[in-house]
């Protein structure tokens, strides 16, 4: 089948989110064809280039969501066929259309954008529970549903307008959009922050909304039944072109399934594909986009150039309404862990649509360390690896940042040193510090380590050395991640904020015991194979580390159990097979397309696997006429001409045989042209003709017997 992979700020750009995961998914599902629809976030991301694309990627479409993408009212996009030699794509054409508006179009835009703006500015109750853990009552929930309906009406109204006029990017940047937004903010029952919005705030919100709604105006939706949402059929050259006519594949109109990675603006093309063509929608979120927006907004609020409270409130409301609509329209939502699943439930996702699929990780780089930990000759291994993994060494691996709480870890290690004087701590930074805040925090950690643990010497003639060692990944002390984890007996995670703890899974692959704080999906990942303590509690962290360092056998048992759990749940193979089954499940429950248009449940009854893989074979299949017509025009083949029959001296004249209506003669089955595809896969056969003559005769005889019995 052909899968449309929709991303924002991710694959196929080399610098992006979930790039490694998408690459592994595409390589693992090499039996499917993929079209990539990517939204870029910055010029720097586009300048970094693309990843090496696998052979099953037939075309890549890109569009910008950043300021440089708009030039003179038209943001350029790329629609590129894949070139295999370089792994990059050749030049193509595409655009984010601004659209040509008249009086009628401006009125339609004002009505649709007014509905969307009213829903964004509305002060409806949130789906989040209150401080007591209670959800809104039925009346308040009804008001929230009304806002969701208004948002959907406005969103799809703008999509229909973009389909008819060629785009709405220019209208979203116009004075009319600002006036409509101002009217919505001044209406009754709006957010308090929206009521205080000034002109500068309204201009900022209109600009951000234009970027977020830019996918409505891209030419990705192609032709379906001769109509193009943007006013014309996108053309191109590539492996997705029709093998006989050379015409380009009409974008999302020909996709069997839309797979959105990450949510957010990337969900908009999937929503429109379902709206216009009935294409099923699958959403995968390993980090909930709405949660990320809240965290980023809170971090930017203290910046000198931060947007005002009205801007942050309106943008958060827009993201919340968009997430709710995406979850409502998706056939299936696959969170990466229970923590993300709870967020999606609070944002309106139905529990019946949620299915947790853990992100797959490559266990090969950690196999040597893990197998060494699981070796039957554990005593010899421990003796040989004393210098590599000291039984009294704690290891922390990750990115140095304030949310990692290394200061709390250093205070906890001070307690460990009082209980075990020979204990050591290795802090391995996996990447360079990002921004001045992280650099300042890293320097504070080094200064604190020097104050708490001054250089100590074993004797008068030896050189003093601190028990806390700071290393960087790739240095001689820690060349690889596996060797960094293998250098200690216990791996520590001290974070105060965490999503899916990748470092813990890597430590589990290495067969190491772990001590972690109870944040994010830590408990779900660890299970019963490690120790979990409250966050921001150095004493509890120190007690757990001390307990494992004093009991190496317990640490070995926990490490072996952790490795078995990681290999069972968190490997690439498990993730790929899960999505292989999900793709087949969604296609088996979705109606087949008829005459180039997807049959929605209102148009036709579902036909599971109605368009099999054989329908994509190149070339034309042999034309086969109706069985009854073949019976009427066929002639019986003489017995001497049949394959394997003994030829007589004088061929006998053919004798007439009576043919029962609806049953073909023996010669009719042999005069039919052979088809390279099985009969059940040929769309040129009429209904009921694909069962074959022998099965038809048996069916008629069965019906005759039933009538005789009656």
For the ranges 91-100, 471-480, 541-550, the maximum mean pLDDT occurs at 541-550
Q: Length of the chain in residues, anyone? A: 710
For residues 239 and 580, the model is more confident at 580
Quick check: 346 and 149 in contact, CB under 8 A?
A: no
Give me 423's structure tokens.
């204990």
Neighbouring CB atoms inside 10 A of 487's CB total 23
Percent of the chain residues past pLDDT 70, beyond the cut: 67
Q: Is the pLDDT of residue 144 over 70?
A: yes
The predicted pLDDT at position 202 comes to 93
Residues in contact with 171: Cβ distance below 8 Å, sequence separation at least 6, in sequence order = 98, 99, 101, 106, 109, 113, 177
Instruction: Round to whole Å and give the CA distance between 171 and 421.
Output: 69
Nearest Cα to Cα of residue 232 among 148, 164, 319, 309: 164
Mean pLDDT of 42-52: 88
User: Can you list the alpha helix ranges (DSSP code H) found in 19-88?
Assistant: 19-28, 43-47
Instruction: Round to whole Å and give the CA distance between 199 and 190.
Output: 17
What are 180-223's pLDDT values in tens digits? 999 999 988 888 888 899 999 999 999 999 999 999 999 898 75
For the ranges 97-101, 283-287, 290-294, 330-334, the maximum mean pLDDT occurs at 330-334
Q: Is the peptide bond before 398 cis (omega within 30 degrees of 0)?
A: no
Quick check: 539 and 415 in contact, CB under 8 A?
A: yes
The predicted pLDDT at position 668 comes to 41
CA atoms within 13 A of residue 124's CA, in its CB half-sphere: 25
The predicted pLDDT at position 35 comes to 95
User: Among 228-242, 387-401, 423-437, 558-572, whose mean pLDDT is lowest?
Assistant: 228-242
Q: How confident is the model at residue 364 (pLDDT cuts 50, 70, 90)?
A: very high
Q: How confident is the model at residue 611 (pLDDT cuts 50, 70, 90)?
A: low
Q: How confident is the model at residue 287 (pLDDT cuts 50, 70, 90)?
A: confident
For residue 672, give the DSSP letter.
Answer: S
- Bridge partners (DSSP) of residue 2 are 33
Catalogue the E-assigned strands of 2-131: 2-8, 33-40, 57-64, 70-71, 74-76, 78-81, 95-96
User: Which domains are assigned to the chain?
Assistant: 1-103+124-133+214-360+571-611 (3.40.50.2000), 364-453+465-569 (3.40.50.2000), 622-642+656-710 (no CATH)
Q: Is the pLDDT of residue 32 over 90?
A: yes
The predicted pLDDT at position 537 comes to 96
Q: Is the pLDDT of residue 305 over 70?
A: no
CA atoms within 13 A of residue 409's CA, in its CB half-sphere: 28
Computed on alpha carbons and rounded to an integer, the radius of gyration of the chain in Å comes to 32
For the ranges 286-300, 398-412, 431-445, 594-608, the maximum mean pLDDT occurs at 398-412
Q: Is the pLDDT of residue 637 over 50?
A: no
pTM, full prediction: 0.75
For residues 705 and 494, the model is more confident at 494
Rounded to the nearest integer, the mean pLDDT of the chain is 77
Q: Which H or E element spans position 335?
A: strand 332-335
User: Among 86-100, 483-497, 548-562, whose mean pLDDT is lowest?
Assistant: 86-100
Instruction: Round to whole Å and give the CA distance between 629 and 477.
Output: 81
Q: How confident is the model at residue 653 (pLDDT cuts 50, 70, 90)?
A: very low
């Amino acid at each position: 089948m052909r899968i449309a992979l929709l991303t924002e700020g991710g694959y196929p750009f080399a610098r992006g989110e979930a790039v490694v995961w998408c690459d592994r998914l595409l390589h693992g599902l090499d039996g499917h064809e993929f079209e990539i629809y990517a939204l870029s976030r910055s010029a720097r991301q586009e300048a970094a280039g693309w990843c090496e694309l696998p052979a099953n990627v037939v075309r890549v479409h890109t569009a910008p969501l950043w300021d440089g993408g708009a030039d003179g009212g038209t943001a350029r996009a790329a629609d590129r066929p894949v070139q295999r030699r370089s792994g990059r794509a050749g030049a193509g054409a595409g655009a984010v259309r601004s659209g040509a508006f008249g009086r009628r179009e401006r009125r339609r835009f004002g009505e649709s954008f007014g509905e969307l703006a009213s829903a964004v500015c509305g002060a409806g109750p949130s789906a989040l529970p209150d401080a007591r853990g209670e959800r809104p009552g039925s009346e308040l929930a009804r008001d929230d549903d009304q806002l969701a309906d208004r948002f959907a009406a406005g969103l799809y109204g703008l999509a229909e307008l973009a389909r008819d006029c060629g785009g709405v990017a220019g209208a979203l940047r116009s004075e009319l959009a600002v006036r409509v937004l101002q009217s919505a903010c001044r209406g009754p029952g709006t957010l308090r922050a929206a009521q205080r919005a000034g002109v500068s705030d309204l201009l900022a919100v209109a600009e951000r909304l234009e970027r977020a709604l830019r996918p409505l105006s891209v030419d990705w939706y192609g032709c379906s039944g001769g109509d193009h949402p943007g006013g014309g059929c996108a053309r191109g050259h590539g492996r997705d072109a029709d093998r006989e006519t050379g015409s380009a594949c009409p974008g999302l109109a020909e996709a069997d399934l839309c797979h959105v990675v990450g949510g957010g603006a990337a969900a908009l093309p999937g929503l429109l594909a379902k709206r216009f063509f009935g294409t099923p929608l699958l959403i995968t979120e390993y980090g909930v986009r709405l949660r990320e927006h809240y965290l980023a907004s809170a971090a930017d609020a203290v910046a000198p150039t931060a947007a005002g409270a009205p801007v942050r409130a309106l943008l958060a409301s827009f993201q919340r309404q968009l997430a709710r609509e995406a979850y409502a329209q998706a056939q299936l939502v696959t969170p990466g862990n229970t923590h993300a699943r709870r967020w999606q439930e609070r944002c309106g996702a139905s529990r019946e649509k949620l299915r947790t699929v853990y992100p797959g990780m490559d266990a090969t780089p950690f196999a040597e360390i893990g197998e060494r930990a699981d070796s039957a000759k554990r005593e010899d291994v421990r003796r040989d690896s004393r210098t590599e993994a000291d039984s009294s060494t704690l290891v922390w691996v990750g990115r140095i940042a304030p949310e990692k709480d290394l200061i709390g870890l250093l205070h906890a290690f001070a307690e460990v040193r009082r209980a075990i004087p020979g204990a050591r701590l290795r802090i391995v930074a996996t990447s360079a510090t990002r921004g001045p805040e992280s650099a300042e925090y890293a320097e504070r950690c080094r200064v604190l380590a020097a104050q708490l643990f001054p250089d100590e010497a074993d004797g008068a003639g030896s050189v003093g050395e601190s028990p806390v060692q700071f290393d960087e990944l790739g240095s001689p002390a820690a060349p690889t991640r596996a060797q960094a984890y293998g250098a200690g007996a216990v791996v520590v995670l001290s974070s105060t904020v965490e999503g899916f703890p990748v470092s813990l899974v890597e430590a589990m692959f290495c067969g190491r015991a772990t001590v972690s704080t109870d944040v994010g999906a830590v408990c779900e990942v660890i299970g019963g194979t490690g120790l979990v303590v409250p966050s921001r509690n150095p004493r509890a962290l120190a007690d757990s580390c001390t307990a494992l360092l004093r009991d190496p056998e317990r640490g070995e048992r926990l490490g072996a159990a952790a490795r078995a759990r990681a290999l069972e749940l968190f490997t690439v193979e498990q993730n790929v097979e899960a999505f292989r089954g999900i793709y087949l499940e969604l296609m088996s429950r979705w109606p087949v397309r008829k005459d180039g248009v997807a049959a929605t449940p209102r148009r036709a009854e579902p036909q599971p696997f109605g368009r099999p893989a054989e329908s994509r074979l190149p070339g034309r299949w042999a034309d086969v006429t109706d069985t009854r017509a073949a019976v009427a025009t066929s002639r019986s083949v003489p017995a001497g001409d049949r394959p394997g029959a003994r030829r007589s001296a004088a061929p006998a004249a053919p004798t007439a045989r009576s043919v029962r209506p609806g049953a073909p003669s023996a010669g009719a089955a042999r005069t039919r042209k052979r088809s390279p595809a099985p009969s059940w896969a040929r769309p040129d056969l009429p209904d009921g003709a694909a069962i074959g003559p022998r099965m038809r005769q048996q069916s008629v005889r069965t019906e005759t017997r039933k009538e005789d019995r009656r």
